[in-house]
């Protein structure tokens, strides 16, 4: 990692429903923060690589999310979309400590 | 008579298929010996990718078992490679030192894959992808290694990469060309027409030369393969078809008949490209040899026995030839890839095993995924809701976004909002309030819908609750335009105003809507009431349509508009308004309890037959009363305006507000 990381507190794990997501508003576009059934937290750009749909509104199953617009499935860990079209949503680093989520933003 | 000696070198698909043909034509003519370099029975090499991916076992891709070799008296030397042929002496010699004489020699050894001529090509861990030993080497490497490099991004290379990734390897694909699979997808030369639907995984490309089909690549939807192939072989001028060519043969009028495409196919049209089987041969096997399943057809004709790409087409030929007596494999498809059980199985087992949560279903019914997928979770949530009204707690995270947010997501991520207008009636105050909302929230589009209400399009998620607050204040509630639920009850003006009206259709429509709103159903449900047989409310293409006649009401069921228009079936005629309500509740409840998720009433009625529906609802009053009562019972828990809950009572607040803002 070249740039220094700024770890910004965005809320607590319990603010996000299990198998759900919430949005963090950032000047250059939304970020979707997911909580899996196992309470793992992942952050992705809230744009499906297929047609730009809001991944935060999708159905979360295991470590994946299905986009609400056309059903494209993306991996939460890598942002990689399945299927012949592929594509990738950018991932952002997150840290969880004592139930508090921090998002890594390059300074 | 002594038999001629035939030696086949190569125990693969082409060689053995040739032997099958030879045996069919001259059954006792040859004494046959087969040499194969691989120590295996004849197997389907095309299916090695699924074996690598763990979707099939090796046993499942064996084409000819020991019994087949025995039955035909064939001596098989598997794992003994032929190393020499002496044409003068008419003998072959194998690696083990065996020398056998022949009268006829058939060489079907296939080819070896190209391996890059670079230093290190012989090192351990460098394998091609051609036979079972390669697959075994890759699976073994995946157990210990963490990173794989696949050289070549064609179809096979990508299948190998996918298989290795499924074994947990971190895979890198190196490819010479700028795009992957360019040989399959980007044929150069000529003109081409391309259709892509990425979400469904469908890619079709038809290559033309001088208005004639020169080639076609179909991925995801291969139904029209034989048709394109026929056009190619016949060299037919397709100028007249050009506009719709890419959509396939079933386009236009014939689309409503699922068998139109197979019926139209010539007997000489090739159905199975792998084994060169034509439609005529398959139909003959069904008619004359009594084939009544895919497996029968495979055994008798070899169609669909190799790559399996034509299985759907063969199923259609079976269904077309056998009619109702054929139970398609697709008719009993599993709910999704997470299970082998069908929708019917799951609905039954929920009741029998008293399963009361999604987790319980997945555990008891041995789901293959921990948390299901976006197909099965909404289905299970609905089945539980329908099975245990008032008891099962709706799982919001298993609902599609529209049903979670109670608004309809649009392509740009904004939402549309449609308040209910009972029976299509409104007041001066309601449109005034809608107009105020549209201006206040700068809603870009206001549209009158086909269901006689007003749609506000382009509402931002953050504004939804404030929009609903204002609409609620004017007495309006959710129209459920986003849900698998009752949408609209469309009415004509009826006897209250119309010169021709025989009954009060508007009042009847409002009554029906008040009874049915709020209910979750397998798919969307639309009703209509017409005040006379002129049927201005189009009640004969609705899920439940009512048409007033002089002596009472005609009830029509199982129709819809949409992709395939289906006119309703007449259920019966009734005399009183109370009967209309009871039949409607009973019909909807039967549908709620028995249809598959995402199955509209039209295909459901088609599947269970109209006779069944009549038997359950018309013929026996008790049969009708009970489901009607169950409908009313479940409605007790459903008729709560979801907009008011969220706008005024803070339900699901996390859905509407961002978690945080940065910068």
How many angstroms away from the CA of A83 is the closest CA of chain B? Answer: 7
Using CB atoms within 10 A of its CB, is residue B543 exposed (0-12), middle (13-18) or buried (19+)?
Answer: buried
Determine contact: B361 vs chain A, CB below 8 A: no
Task: Give dist(CA B154, CA B655) in Å, integer.
Answer: 43
Instruction: For B275-426, list the strands marked E by DSSP.
Output: 277-278, 408-409, 415-417
Q: Which residues contact B338 (CB under 8 A, 6 or more apart)?
A: B362, B367, B368, B369, B372, B373, B375, B376
* Residue B144 CA: distances (Å) to CA of B52, B87, B173, B371: 16, 47, 19, 28
> Tokens for B375?
């197909």
Q: What is the mean pLDDT of chain B?
A: 90
Contacts of B358 in chain A (CB under 8 A): none
Residue of B nearest to A72 (CA): B199
Token digits for B403?
């049903």
For the stretch B112-139, pLDDT in tens is 888 888 888 888 889 999 999 999 999 8
Q: Which of B286, B282, B283, B322 is nearest to B303 (CA)?
A: B282
Instruction: Kindly state whether residues B415 and B538 are assigned to the same domain.
Output: no
Question: What integer pLDDT is reported at residue B612 of this predicted model?
Answer: 92
Rounded to whole angstroms, the Cα distance separating B74 from B334 reads 40
Residue of chain A nearest B412, judged by CA positions: A53
Q: Which of A4-8, A84-88, B48-52 has the lowest mean pLDDT?
A: A84-88
Q: What is residue B185's predicted lDDT score, i.e. its pLDDT?
A: 65
Residue range A33-56, pLDDT digits in tens: 999 999 999 999 999 998 899 999
Please judge whether B659 and A20 are an interchain contact, meaning their C-beta atoms are less than 8 angstroms apart: no
Instruction: Tell whether B563 is covered by a domain.
Output: yes
Q: Please name the residues between 412 and 471 in chain B that touch chain A, using a CB distance below 8 Å.
A: 413
Q: Among residues B90, B107, B124, which one ends one of the domains?
A: B107
Which residues does chain A have within 8 Å of residue B374's beta carbon, measured at their own beta carbons? 58-59, 61, 66, 71, 73
Strands B104-107 and B99-101: unpaired
| pLDDT at B333 > cutoff 90 | no
Helix axes B464-473 and B429-440, enclosed angle (nearest 10): 160
Q: Is A57 on the interface with B (CB under 8 A)?
A: yes
**Cα–Cα distance, B190 to B206 (Å, whole number):** 10
Residues B350 and B369: their CA atoms lie apart, in Å, by 18
Is pLDDT at B202 greater than 80 in this prediction?
no
Q: How far apart are CA B237 and CA B332, in angstroms?
A: 40
The answer to whether the Cβ–Cβ distance between B397 and A17 falls below 8 Å is yes
| Bridge partners, A73 (sequence order) | A66
The answer to whether residues B530 and B415 belong to one domain is no
Q: Which of B531, B561, B567 is nearest to B546 (CA)?
A: B531
Mean pLDDT score of chain A: 92
Closest Cα in chain A to B661: A25
Average pLDDT over residues B167-181: 87
Q: Which residue is associated with the tokens 């070198």?
A: B9
* Closest listed residue to residue A53, CA positions, set B350, B626, B411: B411
Backbone phi and psi for residue A43, each to the nearest 5 degrees, phi listed first: -125, 135
Q: What pLDDT, on the 0 to 100 scale, is given for residue A2?
A: 54
Whether the CB-CB separation of B399 and B381 falls below 8 Å is answered with yes
Give the model confidence (pLDDT) of B614-637 as tens digits.
Answer: 999 998 787 788 999 999 999 999
Residue B188 has pLDDT above 70, yes or no: no
DSSP of B192-208: EEEEEEGGGTEEEEEEE
Burial of residue B16, with CB atoms counted within 10 A of its CB: 0-12 exposed, 13-18 middle, 19 or more buried: buried
Give me the pLDDT at residue B257, please: 56
The answer to whether residues B493 and B614 belong to one domain is yes
**Considering the domain boundaries, does residue B181 fall inside one?**
no
CB of A29 within 8 Å of any CB in chain B?
no
Dmax over CA atoms of chain A, in Å, equals 40
Q: Please give the Cα distance from B662 to B647 (Å, whole number).
A: 26
Distance CA B479, CA B25 (A): 69
* CA–CA distance, A75 with B178 (Å, rounded to integer): 25
Q: Quote the tokens at residue B426.
A: 């409104």
> Are B526 and B591 members of one domain?
yes
Q: Please report the pLDDT score of residue B149 as a whole number.
A: 94
3-class DSSP state for residue B314?
A: helix
Rounded Cα distance between B642 and B657, Å, is: 17
The Cα B634–Cα B389 span in angstroms is 5
Q: How far from the centroid of its chain's Cα atoms is residue B181's Cα?
A: 25
DSSP state of B393: P
Interface membership of B400 toward A (CB under 8 Å): yes
- Smallest CA-to-CA distance from B81 within B94, B100, B93 is with B94
User: From CA A91, how far away is CA A40, in angstroms rounded?
Assistant: 14
Closest residue in chain A to residue B368, using alpha carbons only:
A62
B458-497 per-position pLDDT tens digit = 999 999 999 999 999 999 999 999 999 999 999 999 999 9
Task: Give the nearest partner residue to A10 out of B378, B399, B660, using CB atoms.
Answer: B660
Whether residue B439 is found in the same domain as residue B506: no
Total tally of structural domains belonging to chain B: 4
Residue B253 — very low, low, confident or very high, per pLDDT cuts 50/70/90?
A: very low
Are B380 and B456 within one domain?
A: no
Which residues of B fall within a CB distance of 8 Å from A60?
371, 397
DSSP-assigned beta bridge partners for residue A22: A33
Residue at B622 is within a domain? yes
Predicted pLDDT at B258: 57
Same structural domain, B608 and B566: yes
Q: Which residues of A touch B397 (CB under 8 A)?
A: 17-20, 59-60
A27 touching B (Cβ < 8 Å): yes
Q: Looking at the complex, report in whole angstroms how far the Cα of residue B56 sits from the nearest Cα belonging to chain A.
A: 20
Any idea of the CA torsion for B471, B476, B479, B482, to the nearest 10 degrees? Answer: 20
Report the pLDDT value the prediction gives residue B329, as an integer from 0 to 100: 47
Q: Which of B58-72, B103-117, B283-297 has the lowest mean pLDDT?
A: B283-297
Q: Tokens representing B60?
A: 């499942």
| Averaged pLDDT, A91-101 | 95
Find the closest chain B residue to A19 by CA distance.
B397
The residue with tokens 């947010």 is B405
| Residues of chain B contacting residue A22, judged by C-beta atoms under 8 Å apart | 654, 658-659
Lowest mean pLDDT among B60-69, B198-207, B651-660: B198-207
Q: Which residues contact B282 (CB under 8 A, 6 or more apart)?
A: B271, B297, B301, B303, B314, B317
Check whether residue B598 and residue B491 sit in a common domain: yes
| Cβ pair B99, B93 in contact under 8 A | yes
Structure ipTM: 0.94
Which are the contacts of B200, defined by CB distance < 8 A and separation ≥ 6?
A71, B220, B221
Neighbours of B256 (CB within 10 A): 12
On the 0-12 / 13-18 / 19+ scale of CB atoms within 10 A, A29 is exposed
Can you give the CATH number for the domain in which B27 is found?
3.50.50.60
Quote the CA–CA distance of B589 and B537 in Å, as a whole number.
23
Among B219, B374, B662, select the one facing A59 at the smallest CB separation. Answer: B374
Mean local confidence (pLDDT), B421-443 = 97
Which residue of chain A comes nearest to B376, CA vs CA? A61
Q: Which residues in chain B touch residue A69, judged by CB atoms under 8 angstroms apart? A: 199, 409, 411
Same domain, B14 and B41: yes
**Domain A15-90 has what CATH class?**
mainly beta
SS (H, E, C) B565-612: CECCEEEEEECCHHHHHHHHHHHHHHHHHHCCCCCCHHHHHHHHCHHH
Q: Which structure tokens are listed for B405? A: 């947010």
Among partner residues A20, A52, A83, which is closest to B198 by beta-carbon distance? A83
Range of the domain at B450: 400-483
- Predicted local confidence at residue B350, as pLDDT: 94
Which residues from B are below 8 Å from A25, CB to CB?
A: 658, 660-662
Is a pLDDT exceeding 50 seen at residue B377?
yes
**What CATH number should be reported for the domain holding residue B610?**
3.30.413.10
Q: Is A73 on the interface with B (CB under 8 A)?
A: yes
Same domain, B427 and B450: yes
Residues B457 and B515 in one domain: no
Out of A51, A62, A70, whose CB is closest to B371?
Answer: A62
- In the numeric block, the tokens 């230093």 are attached to B119
Q: How far is A11 from chain B (nearest CA, A)?
A: 7
B496 in Cβ contact with B572 (< 8 Å): no
Q: Which residues of B touch A23 (CB under 8 A)?
A: 658-659
Q: How far is CA B257 from CA B552, B560, B604, in A?
A: 35, 16, 17
Residue B91 has pLDDT above 80, yes or no: yes
The predicted structure's pLDDT at residue B276: 84
- Nearest-by-Cβ selection for B662 from A8, A18, A60: A8
User: What is the reported pLDDT for B252?
Assistant: 46
Only one residue has tokens 């032997």, namely B19
pLDDT band at A12 (very low <50, low <70, confident <90, very high): very high
Is B157 at the interface with chain A, CB within 8 A? no
CATH number at residue B438: 3.90.480.10
| pLDDT digits 0-9 by tens, B11-34 | 999 999 999 999 988 988 999 999
Dihedral pair phi/psi, residue B545, rounded to 5°: -120, 140
For residue B531, is it within any domain? yes
The rounded distance, in Å, linking the Cα atoms of B471 and A43 is 35
Whether the Cβ atoms of residue A48 and residue A81 lie closer than 8 Å to each other: yes
Express as a percent the part of chain B with pLDDT over 90. Answer: 60
CB contact at 8 A, B532 and B502: yes
Q: Answer whether residue B256 shows pLDDT above 50.
A: no
Please state whether beta strands B42-43 and B62-64 pair in parallel, antiparallel, or not at all (unpaired): antiparallel
SS (H, E, C) B266-293: CCCCEEECCCCEEHHHHHHHHHHCCCCC
Residues of B in contact with A105 (CB under 8 A): 662
CA-to-CA distance for B299 and B65, rounded, in angstroms? 13
Which chain B residues touch A99 with a CB distance below 8 Å?
A: none
In chain B, % of residues over pLDDT 70: 95
Classify residue B37: in a domain, yes or no. Answer: yes
Residue where a domain stops, chosen among B107, B134, B158 = B107
Does position B572 have pLDDT exceeding 60, yes or no? yes
Q: Does B179 touch chain A (CB under 8 A)?
A: no
Cα distance from B519 to chain A (closest Cα, Å)? Answer: 22
Cα–Cα distance, B611 to B618 (Å, whole number): 10
pLDDT at position B546:
98
Q: Do A59 and B413 touch (CB under 8 A)?
A: no
Residues of A in contact with B377 (CB under 8 A): 59, 61
CB of A87 within 8 Å of a chain B CB? The answer is no
Rounded to whole angstroms, the Cα distance separating A43 from A35 reads 9
Per the model's pLDDT, the better-predicted residue between B585 and B259 turns out to be B585
Q: Taking a C-beta distance cutoff of 8 angstroms, is the pair A24, A30 a contact?
A: yes
**Residue B607, in any domain of the structure:** yes
Closest partner CB to B371 (pick from A19, A57, A85): A19
Residues of A in contact with B378 (CB under 8 A): 59
pLDDT average, residue stretch A76-105: 91
R_g of chain A computed on alpha carbons: 13
CB contact under 8 A, A16 and B369: no
């Amino acid at each position: 990692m070249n740039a220094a990381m700024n770890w910004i507190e965005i809320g607590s794990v319990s603010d996000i429903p299990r198998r759900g997501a919430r949005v963090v508003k950032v000047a250059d576009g939304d970020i979707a923060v997911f909580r899996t059934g196992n309470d793992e937290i992942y952050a992705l750009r809230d744009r499906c690589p297929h047609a730009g749909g809001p991944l935060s509104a999708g159905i979360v199953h295991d470590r994946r999310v299905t986009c609400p617009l056309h059903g494209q499935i993306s991996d939460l860990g890598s942002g990689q979309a399945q299927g012949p079209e592929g594509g990738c949503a950018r991932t952002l680093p997150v840290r969880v400590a004592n139930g508090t989520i921090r998002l890594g933003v390059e300074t | 008579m002594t038999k001629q000696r035939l030696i086949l070198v190569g125990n693969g698909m082409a060689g053995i298929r040739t032997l099958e043909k030879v045996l069919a034509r001259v059954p006792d003519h040859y004494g046959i010996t087969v040499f194969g370099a691989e120590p295996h029975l004849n197997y389907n090499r095309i299916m090695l990718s699924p074996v690598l991916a763990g979707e099939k076992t090796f046993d499942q891709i064996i084409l000819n078992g020991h019994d087949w070799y025995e039955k035909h008296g064939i001596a098989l030397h598997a794992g003994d490679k032929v190393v020499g042929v002496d044409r003068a002496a008419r003998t072959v010699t194998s690696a083990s030192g065996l020398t056998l004489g022949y009268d006829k020699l058939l060489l079907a050894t296939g080819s070896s894959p190209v391996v890059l001529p670079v230093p290190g090509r012989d090192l351990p861990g460098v394998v091609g992808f051609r036979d079972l030993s390669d697959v075994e080497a890759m699976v073994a490497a995946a157990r210990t290694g963490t990173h794989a490099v696949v050289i070549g991004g064609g179809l096979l290379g990508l299948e190998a990469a996918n298989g290795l990734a499924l074994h947990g390897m971190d895979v890198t694909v190196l490819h010479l060309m700028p795009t992957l699979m360019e040989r399959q997808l980007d044929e150069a030369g000529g003109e081409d027409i391309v259709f892509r639907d990425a979400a469904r995984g469908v890619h079709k490309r038809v290559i033309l030369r001088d208005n004639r089909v020169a080639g076609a690549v179909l991925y995801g939807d291969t139904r029209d393969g034989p048709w394109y192939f026929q056009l190619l072989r016949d060299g037919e001028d397709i100028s007249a078809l050009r506009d719709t060519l890419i959509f396939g043969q079933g386009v236009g009028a014939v689309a409503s008949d699922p068998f139109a495409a197979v019926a139209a196919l010539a007997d000489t049209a090739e159905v199975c490209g792998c084994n060169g089987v034509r439609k005529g041969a398959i139909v003959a096997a069904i008619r004359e040899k009594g084939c009544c399943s895919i497996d029968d057809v495979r055994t008798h004709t070899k169609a669909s026995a190799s790559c399996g790409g034509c299985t759907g087409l063969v199923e259609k030929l079976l269904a077309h030839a056998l009619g109702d007596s054929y139970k398609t494999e697709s008719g009993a498809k599993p709910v999704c890839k997470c299970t082998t059980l069908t929708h019917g199985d799951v609905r039954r087992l929920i009741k029998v095993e008293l399963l009361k949560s999604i987790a319980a279903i997945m555990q008891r019914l041995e789901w293959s995924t921990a948390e299901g997928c976006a197909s099965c979770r909404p289905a299970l949530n609905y089945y539980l809701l329908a099975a245990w009204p008032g008891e099962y707690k709706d799982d919001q995270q298993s609902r599609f976004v529209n049903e979670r947010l109670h608004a309809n997501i649009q392509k740009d991520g904004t939402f549309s909002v449609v308040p209910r207008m009972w029976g299509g009636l409104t007041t001066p105050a309601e449109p005034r309030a809608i107009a105020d909302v549209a201006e206040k929230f700068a809603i870009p589009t206001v549209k009158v819908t086909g269901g006689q209400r007003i749609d506000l399009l382009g509402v931002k998620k953050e504004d939804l609750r404030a929009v609903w607050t204002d609409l609620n204040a004017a007495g309006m509630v959710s129209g459920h335009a986003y849900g698998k639920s009752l949408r609209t009850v469309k009415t004509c003006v009826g006897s209250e105003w119309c010169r021709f009206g025989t009954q009060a259709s508007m009042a009847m429509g409002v009554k029906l809507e008040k009874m049915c709103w709020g209910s979750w159903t397998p798919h969307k449900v639309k009703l209509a009431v017409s005040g006379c047989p002129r049927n201005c409310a189009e009640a004969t293409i609705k899920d439940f349509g009512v048409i007033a006649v002089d002596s009472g009401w005609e009830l029509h069921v199982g129709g819809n508009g949409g992709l395939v228009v289906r006119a309703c079936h007449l259920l019966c005629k009734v005399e009183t308004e109370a009967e209309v309500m009871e039949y409607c509740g009973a019909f909807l409840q039967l549908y709620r309890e028995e249809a598959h998720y995402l199955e509209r009433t039209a295909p459901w009625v088609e599947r269970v037959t109209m006779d069944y529906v009549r038997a359950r609802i018309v013929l026996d009053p008790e049969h009708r009363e009970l489901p009607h009562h169950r409908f009313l019972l479940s409605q007790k828990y459903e008729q709560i305006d979801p907009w008011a809950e969220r706008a005024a009572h803070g339900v699901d607040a996390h859905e509407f507000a961002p978690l945080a803002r940065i910068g």
